[in-house]
Amino acid sequence: DRIEIEIDAQPFAYAFSPAASALVIIDMQRDFVEPGGFGASLGNDVSLLQAIIPTCQAVLQAWRAAGGLVVHTREAHKADLSDCPPAKRLRGNPSLRIGDQGPMGRVLVAGEPGNQIIPELAPRPNEIVVDKPGKGAFYATPLHAMLQGQGITHLVFMGVTTEVCVQTSMREANDRGYDCLLVEDGTESYFPAFKQAAIKMIHAQGGIVGWTAPAAPLIAGLA
Ligand code: C5J
């Protein structure tokens, strides 16, 4: 089961074996995608992010059918906020701060309704769910150890937001030696120009952070 799949990507073809790869879905939680959550509290239009849900579902379905490992992350803080630096909580002038009570429970707090992955992409019991206190999925989490324990060398990323948690996580993964692919239409930003810039930054300079490709060739390759 070490079959290699090669797909058209930028800046050149991306090759991976499903058995040594994980699909990493970043922060597709209600806090970012639904009104009343953290993303909206910062003044963002969350409907932009909802548009990628069908594509994320299609990639997730194809990935599961190929038997690949799936990782879901959530930006989540402990109820006592001991893992939320004051610099993060007090920055700016949001309508609700992290830990405040909002329409979907306490903002960005683990276990609250707003902190759950959206139902369309709900994790299955055999999939990994990582709660992360930072923007990157590797900071203060067991993710690297879990992936190493399963012989994972390649990571395929989707989720939100492209230039914040997705790009930060890809850079962290790249520095840890993973070959990373970003699914271009499986990620979104509240700022479309930032998404486009992040995609270019990732695959520029010979793939300095990794590769990018649309969902279609990935799904076709997995079939
Ligand atoms: C943000 C994230 N944008 N998941 N978090 O604050 O990208």
ipTM above 0.90, yes or no: yes
Residue nearest to atom 6 of ligand 1 (CA): 164
Using an 8 Å Cβ cutoff, are 73 and 159 in contact?
A: yes
CA–CA distance, 197 with 194 (Å, rounded to integer): 5
Our answer on whether the CB atom of 165 is closer than 6 Å to any ligand 1 atom is yes
CA–CA distance, 49 with 34 (Å, rounded to integer): 9
Using an 8 Å Cβ cutoff, are 126 and 72 in contact?
A: no
Dihedral angle sign, alpha carbons of residues 220, 16, 68, 200: negative
Which residue would you say has higher pLDDT here, 145 or 1? 145
Residue nearest to atom 2 of ligand 1 (CA): 165
The yes-or-no answer on residue 1 being catalytic is: no
Alpha carbon of 38 to ligand 1 centroid (Å)? 9
Q: How confident is the model at residue 3 (pLDDT cuts 50, 70, 90)?
A: confident
Residue nearest to atom 4 of ligand 1 (CA): 165
pLDDT over 60 (residue 12) = yes
C-alpha 213 chain-centroid distance: 15
The yes-or-no answer on residue 80 being catalytic is: no
Using an 8 Å Cβ cutoff, are 89 and 42 in contact?
A: no
C-alpha 219 chain-centroid distance: 18
The per-residue pLDDT for 2 is 56
Our answer on whether the CB atom of 163 is closer than 6 Å to any ligand 1 atom is no
Pocket test for ligand 1, best of 165, 182, 194, 195 (most atoms within 8 A of CB): 165
Alpha carbon of 14 to ligand 1 centroid (Å)? 26
pLDDT in tens, 109-156: 999 999 999 999 999 999 999 999 999 999 999 999 999 999 999 999
CA–CA distance, 219 with 29 (Å, rounded to integer): 23
Give the mean pLDDT of the chain: 97
pTM over 0.95: yes
Residue 208 parent element (H or E): none
The per-residue pLDDT for 155 is 99
The per-residue pLDDT for 19 is 96
pLDDT over 80 (residue 211) = yes
pLDDT over 70 (residue 1) = no
From the candidates 31, 56, 84, 132, which is the catalytic residue?
A: 132
From the candidates 31, 84, 135, 165, which is the catalytic residue?
A: 165
Exposure string over 64-99, b if 16+ CB within 10 A, otherwise e: bebebbbbbbbbbbeeebeebeeebbeeeeeebbbb
Provide the percentage of residues in the chain whose pLDDT is more than 90.
98
The yes-or-no answer on residue 84 being catalytic is: no
Our answer on whether the CB atom of 34 is closer than 6 Å to any ligand 1 atom is no
Dihedral angle sign, alpha carbons of residues 171, 121, 184, 22: positive
